[in-house]
Amino acid sequence: MPRASAWTLGWLALAVALVLLPQALSFSQQEILVFLTINVLLVSSYRLLTLTGEWSLGHAVIMGVGAYASALVTKWTGLFVPLSMLVGALTAAAVAWVLSFPLFRMKGFYFLIGSFAAGEIIRLLWKRFQDPFGGAKGLKRIEPMPNLDLGFHHFDFFLPTNYYYFALVAVGICLWLMWRVERSPMGLAFHAVHWQDKLAQASGINVRGYRMLAFVLASGFAGLSGALLAHYIGTINPGSFGVEQMVFILTWAIVGGTSTFYGPILGVVVLTILNEIVLRGMGFEQARPLIYGFILILSVLFLPKGLESLVQGAMARWRVAAPRPAPVEREKQA
Amino acid sequence: MFRNLLNGRIDRRRFLQSSATLAAGAAVGSHFSTKASAQGGKVVKIGFLAPLTGPVAAWGKPGLDGCSIWAEWVNSEGVEIGGERYTIEFVSYDDEYDPTKARTGATQLILEDEVKFIMMLGGDPWPAVQPVAERTGMLVSTLLPSDLSPETTTLIAPAEVHPIYNVTGVEWLAQNKPDLKTAVICAQDDALGLPSVATYLAAFEAAGIEVLEAPQLFDPATTDFAPVVTKLIAKNPQIVCLDTCYADYVHPICEQLFQQGYKGQIISCTADFYDKIIEKTSKEFMEGFVFQFPDFDDPALNGENINFRRPNEFYEEYSRRFPGEWGAVSWEYASVMDLWLDAAKKAGSVEPEDVLAAMKEGGVGKHAFGEAEWWGEDLFGIDNALVGEWPVVVIEDGKAVIKGFGNIPAWYNQHRDLLIKSMEALGQMYYQRG
């Protein structure tokens, strides 16, 4: 089979599998699937930020900015929830843009610590101001996604299956956008800023500007993931976007690997299934942190380049094993 | 192995083998400790949705351990509800004090495990569970009445009225140590800390004790308490109030108070694993420490007014099975189950709505510490908290001793306006939340 056709078939199979997936899961697994889908967007947006070589410790808080903004906009204005989610994403991007001025005066480790400090300031503001952020208890009874009647199907978005389909479409579009960004000249500039910043600067690339751009774009997508979460669970509080959540994002990215687009996605999918389904299902409820930590150590020891290295290895073997078409065939395919 | 490790002679394979054995051992142990034994007849499942891991686990895991003892005792005695014999089984889900996990857990417990009642710690996870409980009509209990609001009709707080019972400790201090006239308060800045701060502020004001400065709220991520304590005792207070700090904070704060030479009175909502605090400080330093959660080997719990089943024996059995793990919640979830079982027997049914109706019949109920009333309209907008007497506990010679019982409704009737003013000032009234 020609390689292009194999790819098309592969994508089609994946799409069908994602649509049918909830039907094969239990109620609680469907809930986990919703959160997993949202986390796929979150960790992918984090990778977009890391393309320029900067790692942030404020990404979870930026996710929270989107969540708070979207929840408050629906509360104050009654705006249609999907639109308020976009407002949440834009607010997160705008906050990131403002933060980027002081933060991108720093690089590397200093940026890491600076982003953590900026995030903590935002979190403390949420706690400090009971009005409008709800203080330490946060916001409750956030407007849910309104039900949708399409005639052939009534979508009650309280149900995890329906919300999963909604989140899947939103996340799918975002992933496609991020993919296009990375493949565009802008994405090439991000890579250049990461690997050869002096050379890029000498070539006329505005290094600081591209770093800011990656930060703002990544924050917009993270804000959307926060908004998706807020309107599903109906409650958010400053603790939901704290250090612990940030550690999870880092772990997903590191275990999955960040050199490919699918690396962090692989990380979040594998680790979530392991932690929430496999270990709980095996009855290891209280020993999960111990086993989870042990598996992380294993992965760092044996897969220092992340889970993506396994896929890269398999792809390389597949390329070698697959018979290459004759030159005439290749020309025809081209 | 450790000698080899120190000498650098252990290889990676052996390290991994040893670690895997350790992990598997711990995992298997934890698995079996959560199962209740089945004794035949019908099975009624009860959900336990609370943090079993993470920083708040001290208010979940000991409760599950207590429930396992309760279930064994009750099942061995035989449970008859509505003329049918039942075995009670607990199904636990670790919500990690995370709303997303709590929603998933509630869904699993209700729709897959088909439990008839869910016990929660409450707090941050509750709002995510609320819509699931509302849609399914599931009866849920919380240890934190601040979760209650007029909309939460199937949520009850039958074990503790946190943080209102803290007034009894302050009242006892004022009566028994009238020379103490100044206090300072510190608490973690979260949903547990703030309503408790409001309560202590009202209680101190009612007792005529001056709070020297605004309560010091520290971030829950704090690990270094030296600066917190230095600032706290800078004005030489006679009382240091630790509010409703988690065990992970109470211990290092006490250590710091000891190291920085504080010699005054300490009052706290909890003092879980206080023997460990004594080990890190001294018996003399902890002498007179006031808190609210007794050890159940206390003779004061053998009174006729106490409704908890065989408290001294329960404590003995708990300490035998889980040495050094007795804490504030070890008995609480079990006491909720006592109430549930009584109501189920009265209703002749295990269905949530029947049990709730039977539980609230007559507006009174059998609380662990005596007859109590269903109360809370003023503070929570709904009478779903069971409130009566609450013990005041003092550490004497290294051991927690009940010094008396304070009556919460009596205090409230006298100081209602103070408490509401204080709660409103911190935005903790039900109509101000969220």
Cross-chain Cβ contact B31/A242 below 8 Å: no
Q: Which residues fall within 8 angstroms of residue B19, CB to CB, at 6 or more apart?
A: A294, A297
All structural domains of chain A with their residue ranges: 27-241, 243-325
Look at residues B271, B246, B262, B286 and name the one whose alpha carbon lies nearest to residue B51. Answer: B246
Instruction: Determine the pLDDT at residue A284.
Output: 84
A151 vs B24, higher pLDDT: A151
Cross-chain Cβ contact B127/A234 below 8 Å: yes
How deeply is B355 buried, as exposed, middle or buried, from its count of CB atoms within 10 A (0-12, 13-18, 19+)? buried
* Residue of B91, B92, B124 to mutate for A, most A C-beta atoms under 10 A: B124
Percent of the residues in chain A that have a pLDDT greater than 90, as a whole number: 64
Instruction: Determine the pLDDT at residue A331.
Output: 60
Cross-chain Cβ contact B434/A35 below 8 Å: no
Smallest Cβ distance to A32: which of B61, B98, B104? B104
The tens digit of pLDDT for each residue in A167-177 reads 999 999 999 99
Q: Tell me which chain A residues have a C-beta less than 8 angstroms from the C-beta of B423.
A: none
Radius of gyration of chain B (CA): 22
How deeply is A301 buried, as exposed, middle or buried, from its count of CB atoms within 10 A (0-12, 13-18, 19+)? exposed
B295 touches chain A (CB under 8 A): no
Q: Tell me which chain A residues have a C-beta less than 8 angstroms from the C-beta of B33.
A: 286
Cross-chain Cβ contact B221/A288 below 8 Å: no
A134 touches chain B (CB under 8 A): yes
Q: Tell me which chain B residues have a C-beta less than 8 angstroms from the C-beta of A297.
A: 19
Look at residues B201, B213, B207 and name the one whose alpha carbon lies nearest to residue B180. Answer: B207
Instruction: Determine the pLDDT at residue A287.
Output: 84
Residue type, A84: S
Q: Tell me which chain B residues have a C-beta less than 8 angstroms from the C-beta of A140.
A: 127, 433-434
The tens digit of pLDDT for each residue in A197-227 reads 888 888 888 999 999 999 999 999 999 999 9
Instruction: Determine the pLDDT at residue B40.
Output: 57
A319 vs B266, higher pLDDT: B266
Cross-chain Cβ contact B111/A28 below 8 Å: yes
Q: Residue B93 in contact with residue B47, Cβ under 8 Å?
A: yes
Confidence class for position A329, pLDDT limits 50, 70, 90: low
A131 touches chain B (CB under 8 A): yes
Confidence class for position A328, pLDDT limits 50, 70, 90: low
Count of alpha carbons within 13 angstroms of residue A122, beta-carbon side: 29
Smallest Cβ distance to A136: which of B105, B135, B191? B191
Domain with CATH 3.40.50.2300 in chain B: 41-162+303-387, 166-291+391-425
* Residue of A25, A28, A123 to mutate for B, most B C-beta atoms under 10 A: A28
- Per-residue pLDDT, averaged over A230-251, amounts to 92
Helices (H) and strands (E) in chain B, counts: 16, 17
Tell me, yes or no, if the pTM score tops 0.90. no
Pairs from A164-167 (Cβ < 8 Å, separation ≥ 24): A164/A22, A164/A30, A164/A33, A164/A34, A164/A37, A165/A19, A167/A34, A167/A37, A167/A38, A167/A228, A167/A232
Domain B166-291+391-425, classified CATH 3.40.50.300, yes or no:
no
Residue A74 is encoded by which pair of tokens?
Answer: 């629906």
Please check the confidence at residue A317 and state whether its pLDDT lies above 70: yes
Cross-chain Cβ contact B100/A291 below 8 Å: no
Q: Which residue of A has its CA nearest to B123?
A: A137
The CATH code of the domain at B41-162+303-387 is 3.40.50.2300
DSSP letter for each residue of A11-44: HHHHHHHHHHGGGGS-HHHHHHHHHHHHHHHHHH
CA B148 to chain CA centroid, nearest Å: 16
DSSP A310: H
Confidence class for position A17, pLDDT limits 50, 70, 90: very high
Instruction: Determine the pLDDT at residue A89.
Output: 97
Please list the ranges in chain B whose pLDDT falls under 70: 1-40, 434
A274 touches chain B (CB under 8 A): no
Instruction: Determine the pLDDT at residue B165.
Output: 94
Residues 284-313 of A with CB under 8 A from B: 284-291, 294, 297-298, 301
Cross-chain Cβ contact B191/A130 below 8 Å: no
Cross-chain Cβ contact A298/B112 below 8 Å: no
Residue B339 is encoded by which pair of tokens?
Answer: 């109430």
Nearest-Cα distance to chain B for A69, in Å, is: 14
DSSP letter for each residue of B319-333: HHHSTT---TTTTHH
Nearest-Cα distance to chain A for B258, in Å, is: 30
B381 touches chain A (CB under 8 A): no
Nearest-Cα distance to chain A for B201, in Å, is: 18
Cross-chain Cβ contact A134/B19 below 8 Å: no
A100 touches chain B (CB under 8 A): no
Q: Tell me which chain B residues have a C-beta less than 8 angstroms from the C-beta of A240.
A: 98-100, 124
